[in-house]
Amino acid sequence: MAAHVGASRTPQEVMEHYVSMYIHGNLGKACIPDTIPNRVTDHTCPSGGPLSPSLTTPLPPLDISVAEQQQLGYMPLRDDYEIEYDQDAETLISGLSVNYDDDDVEIELKRAHVDMYVRKLKERQRRKNIARDYNLVPAFLGKDKKDKEKAPKRKITKEEKELRLKLRPLYQFMSCKEFEDFFENMHKERILRAKIRELQRYRRNGITKMEESAEYEAARHKREKRKENKNIASSKRGKEEGKEGEFAAIENLPGFELLSDREKVLCSSLNLSPARYVTVKTIIIKDHLQKRQGIPSKSRLPSYLDKVLKKRILNFLTESGWISRDAS
């Protein structure tokens, strides 16, 4: 327009004159409305429509090394994997084609195939979003342990770990931040409930001020300590009485004081008097020493000693080191 008017006007002057006279002037006010309606229908709505960009918009690529990409079969520029969820989903539409002679049934069938494929794409993208939100890939590669060491949090108890495992199905309905806030709120709820029960216990015991609670807790701790010590003493006394009662059948027999604790258990289990055990023990050890010196043994074992008793006593003397294993 400036070239048409002539060299007397520059392009900037022509533009300013047009805007002032036609756009903002009387002609513009009469012809141009204040708001221009948008008559274009948006088919790319972000609400998950058939052309929604949320289906195809890739997430930022994962920050992993080339070796880890090869291990996962991950393609960062496409944010895809070599093996995707529902790997054969593309077969639904790979053979579709639109023909002019298609009847209504064929068209609806092809639309149904496309709809099924779109649903599979949505599910594939949803799983990727969950894996990205909850850092499942770094957890699989073992990188989350380093991040946990860098950012220490409160220690999670065993009960909380079990509860987190039970609540895992909620991962697909909540973002990672929402789930962590939900879990922390449950932890705060347990703390508040425990505090309420503690205050109610104070009130039942007649405590109405927090200053009195410290004295009450100190006294309660002393009572529990005394009770614990009393239980330990009674358990020790019961063990001693039980041990004495274990040897009640042989403790009043002659020779009982000559036996060790293991020999007392042996005699009690064999129902053998201490004097007879000492006699058998002496004969066996004497024969063993004579054999080691090359002297033939002429002693005979008592008649009350059958094969079972003899074998048990020989095994006991061997294990205790009184005789060698060859002699037994």
Q: What is the pLDDT of residues 213-246, one digit of tens each?
A: 888 888 888 888 888 888 787 766 655 555 555 6
Helix (H, G, I), strand (E, B) or coil at 81: strand
Contact of 48 with 122, CB cutoff 8 Å: yes
- Which segment of 137-151, 210-224, 308-322 scores lowest on mean pLDDT? 137-151
Looking at mean pLDDT, say which of 64-68, 114-118, 302-306 comes out highest. 114-118
Contact 257, 275 (CB under 8 A): no
Contact (CB, 8 A) for 135 and 171: no
**pLDDT, averaged across the chain:** 80
Q: How far apart are the first and last CA of the chain?
A: 127
- State the DSSP string of 91-123: GGTTT----TT--HHHHHHHHHHHHHHHHHHHH
- When pLDDT is cut at 50, 70 and 90, the band that residue 124 belongs to is confident
CB 324 within 8 A of CB 274: no
Contacts 24+ apart (CB under 8 A), 144-151: none
Q: Tell whether the model's pLDDT for residue 56 goes beyond 60.
A: no
The rounded percent of the chain whose pLDDT value lies above 90 is 7
C-alpha R_g of the chain: 46
- Taking CA atoms, 62 is separated from 68, 72, 134, 142, 289, in Å, by 10, 11, 13, 14, 81
Per residue in 65-105, pLDDT tens?
888 888 888 887 777 888 888 888 888 888 888 888 888 89
